[in-house]
Chains A and B, each alone.
Chain A
Amino acid sequence: MNNRLAVSLSPHDKGDLSVEKIMWGVVIALAPAFLASVYFFGYRAIGVVVLGMVFCIAVEYLVQKFITKQTITAFDGSAAVTGLLLAFNVPSTIPWWQLLVGSIIAIGVAKMTFGGLGQNPFNPALIGRAFMLASFPVEMTTWPVPLVNTWNLGADAVSSATPLAILKEGVNAGQTVQQLAGKLPGYFDMFIGHMGGCIGEISALAILIGGVFLLYKKIITWHIPIFYLFSLAAFTGVFWLSNPAKYADPLFHILAGGAMLGAWFMATDLATSPMTPKGQIIFAISGGILCGVIRLLGSYPEGCSYSILIMNAFVPLIDKFTKPRRFGTSERGVKHGG
């Protein structure tokens, strides 16, 4: 009777947190932003998002099946999250084959070459986006006009521009922020997402709802999103105060472009962010400043994704210098045990 008994080591109890729960939790948290994108961009947004998820899961499945010959874990939700985030970072008018190329780079190159889940040093979706932006600059920066209440199926998208691009071009052409005000969307439109942009980044409101859900589910902590946005606001705020004619105010910078999506969903990626709250704060503050630097001083209108990718590279270093405080000592980090 007793020979079926297991005698493994403690603990014998297991919490019900799982990778699947975390990943599908992120998918649920992205649902409000998805619904907002469908509202503003119409049926094409559905197609791009579904294709992004299918492509990424398929690439992971095929790599595991035929190249690495690992156990198939393509359905654990992590590839779905990458696909969703990649789709969120492209315009809704993107050709399907370009999205496929982006998925192959995101999953095949940025994730699977490093060993798959949790092993990738850089955020796979952002690598995919960066690759697409470099390879298909026209398609990646052609923004459809939001289609609210005009479900104009099949019509060619009308080209528009993101608020950040309008600002950059206008200021470079010598206009002041005040002169550009008529071309820029109002704060309320920017907050709910009525502006040009990538599929998932437009609605700050929807992203905020998803972010609060992530916090509530304890999938992320508040440190990265809050410090990232604060540091972006502080950096752009200093420039705004020094020259309000040339620089937009901090609220504009938080609501425009990918800052909200980046702060809540890209910078908080588990695998590519630091392990301790202190490390996460350093990571987030630096990322926010970098984003501001690229937007205000660089030639790109948008710098959110690059700021996160650059900070991803510093994560091992940050982890090394921000170890938790060892119990019973005042030191942070541990030199010698015992």
Chain B
Amino acid sequence: MKLKTFKPGGVHPPANKLSANIPTVKLGLPKEVSIPLSQHQGALAVPVIKKGDVVKVGTLIARGEAFISANIHSSVSGTVVKIDDVLDASGYKTPAVVIKVEGDVWEESIDRSETLVKDITSEPEAIVAKIKEMGIVGLGGATFPTHIKYMVSDDRKVDTLVVNGVECEPYLTSDHRLMLERTEEILQGVRILMKAAKVDRAIIAVEANKPDVVAKMQAKMNPAQYPGMEVVALEVKYPQGAEKQLLQALLKREIPGGKLPLDVGCIVNNVGTVLAVYEALQKNKPLFERVVTITGKKLKKTGNFLARIGTPVSMLLEALGEEMPEHTAKIINGGPMMGKAVNSLDIPITKGISGIVLLDESEARRREPMNCTRCAQCVAICPLGLQPYLLEKLAYRENFEACEAEAVMDCCECGSCSYICPSARPILDYIRHGKANVMRIMKERRQQ
């Protein structure tokens, strides 16, 4: 049978999943963690501890008070040294709670056993409240606070929960490992979220390059125990993991520009998020650790580590027993298609960091741009039906009204156009320039 996928567009960057077969290892504790107060979309969390306080693993240290914000918990036990600005993955300084690590004492409320808990005793509202309390945000990288997705007004109809295990970014394997190693916990998490969303259908989407995951999920997914659930293997194509492309591939539902999955009756969560929900509900465990891939072609070893939030990224390399390879030219937080280049390994691991990719000079260097040859590759591969070459030209000429008319705001910045361009034009760079200015113009219009 032909595998499902989205259309139009899409590209096939080399997968480079170097660490796909390497089991997840618990990363050791650092001497000190820096836990940023902004690890999510929305407002900063407000600290509830002060310098000198003693915290345990799982102690609430900052509360998400704004509507869009998230709670933050300590990932270690020890003493709060200071609340100060640290450099984070964005490249900006951001306030963070710095904790000196002393031992590894967990909050007593957390169930540290590995028993699989199956009974869901909480009602939907209580589940959503728990998700909020435990500080869960989207772990695929977007870090949108998860509980908000489940605060659905009664006039909205949601019928399907989609669990995103696509991991279409090259190099990254953290979701792959989670789905293999924590299969049943994830399936239990899906049950919990189905109850929270009041739906009786859930689809776990995986790309066909992870046959081990598909086989294992199908083996475990006994219909009596997990009613309404199915795992779907999708054709390998980037950006299959983008919400819009994923829902179209699975359900033939298209989210219009500026709308959300909710508008087509779906809620989408990353598999890591689903696992965090299981642990929150059944183990009373806040989100203070996650799996991070550390990889790169010039590394002799690569790996997947379960790391405490706030641990410096450099510890991932140390755990491999590797130094930063000579001629490393880029450190990427996330995958090479949509990740952000960072300028230091001293940044803390946060909820949104699914992997760190080291690229050497030959991979990282941009080619000299040439004239656009109108080869139409960018038009053919744009998954949103835009005309990237035209948007680039309009943004370059600062014709932002025309950018808006050509739907520049629909662009999800997947980077396929810049990836494919034979002339190596910085198409997405200019599209971002166009988007930023269209946003400004729209804001000015609202103010008038």
Chain A residues engaging chain B, CB cutoff 8 angstroms = 1-2, 4-15, 17-19, 21-22, 73, 76, 78, 115-119, 270-276, 323-329, 334-338
When A and B form their complex, which 7 residue pairs have the shortest distance between CB atoms, in order from nearest? A11-B415, A328-B256, A118-B373, A13-B336, A337-B407, A117-B371, A327-B384
Chain A residues near B259: list those with CB within 8 A. 328
**Complex interface: chain B residues within 8 A of A10 (CB):** 336-341, 413, 415, 428
Verify B405–A335 contact, CB threshold 8 A.
yes
Which residues 399-445 in B have Cβ within 8 Å of A in the complex? 403-410, 413, 415-416, 418-424, 428-429, 432, 438, 442
If over half of A's interface residues share one DSSP class (helix, strand or loop), that class is named, otherwise mixed; here it is loop
Q: Which of B100-125 contact A (CB under 8 A)?
A: none
Residues of B67-113 at the interface with A, using a CB-CB cut-off of 8 Å, are: 91
Complex partner residue of B8 from A8, A15, A324, A329, CB under 8 angstroms: A324
At the interface, yes or no: B36 with Cβ under 8 Å from chain A? no
Q: How many residues of B contact A (CB 8 A)?
A: 75
Do A14 and B256 touch across chains, with their CB atoms under 8 A apart?
no
Of B48-56, B197-205, B214-222, B361-369, the one contacting chain A is B361-369
Q: Is the CB of A13 within 8 A of B419?
A: yes
Partner of B91, one of A7, A19, A334: A7
Cross-chain contact of A271 among B91, B357, B373 (Cβ < 8 A):
B373
Note all chain A residues with C-beta closer than 8 A to B244: 327-328
Could you say which of B127-135, B154-162, B178-186, B374-382 contacts chain A? Answer: B374-382
- Asked if B386 and A326 make an inter-chain contact with CB atoms under 8 angstroms apart, the answer reads yes
A-B contact pairs, 18 of them (CB 8 A): A5-B329, A6-B329, A7-B343, A11-B336, A11-B338, A12-B336, A19-B373, A22-B373, A73-B371, A115-B371, A116-B371, A270-B374, A323-B387, A324-B382, A328-B244, A337-B407, A337-B408, A338-B409
Interchain CB contact (< 8 A) of B257 among A21, A117, A325, A338: A338
- Chain A, Cβ-Cβ closest to B417: A11
**A4 contacts across to B, CB distance below 8 A:** 329
- Considering only CB atoms, which chain A residue lies closest to B403 in the complex? A337
A335 to B382, CA, bound (A): 18
Given contact pairs A11-B415, A276-B379, A328-B257, enumerate 15 new A-B contacts (beta carbons under 8 Å). Answer: A2-B344, A6-B330, A12-B330, A12-B337, A13-B170, A19-B370, A19-B422, A21-B422, A117-B370, A118-B372, A118-B373, A270-B374, A276-B376, A324-B385, A326-B386
Residue from B342, B372, B403, B442 having most chain A Cβ neighbours under 10 A: B372
With A324-B386, A328-B259, A337-B410 given, is the CB distance from A8 to B374 under 8 Å? no
Which residue of chain B is the closest to A78 with respect to CB atoms? B373
Closest to A2 in B: B344
> At the interface, yes or no: B383 with Cβ under 8 Å from chain A?
yes
Q: In the complex, how many residue pairs between chain A and chain B have their CB atoms under 8 Å apart?
A: 177
Answer whether A329 and B438 are a contact pair too, CB < 8 Å, given A5-B328, A12-B341, A22-B373: no
Contact B341 A338, beta carbon cutoff 8 Å: no
- What residues of B have a CB within 8 angstroms of the CB of A18 in the complex? 367, 422-424
Q: Are B336 and A326 in contact (CB under 8 A)?
A: no
Is the CB–CB distance between A271 and B428 below 8 Å? Answer: no
Contacts of A7 in B (CB 8 A): 91, 330, 341-343
- Could you say which of A22, A119, A325, A337 has the most chain B C-beta atoms within 10 Å of its C-beta? A337
Interchain CA distance A15-B363 in the complex, whole Å: 10
Do A324 and B371 have beta carbons less than 8 Å apart? no
Distance in Å: Cβ of A239 to nearest Cβ of chain B: 33
Whether B410 contacts A117 by the Cβ 8 Å rule is no
Q: Which of B366, B379, B384, B408 contacts A14 (CB 8 A)?
A: B366
CB nearest to A5 among chain B residues: B343
Q: Which of A2, A5, A9, A115 meets B432, CB within 8 Å?
A: A9
Closest beta carbon of chain B to A316's beta carbon, Å: 11
Question: Is A337 a contact of B406 with CB atoms below 8 Å?
Answer: yes
Given contacts A11-B337, A116-B371, contact A328 B255 (CB under 8 A): yes
Give the contacting residue for A2; candidates B255, B343, B370, B371; CB below 8 A. B343
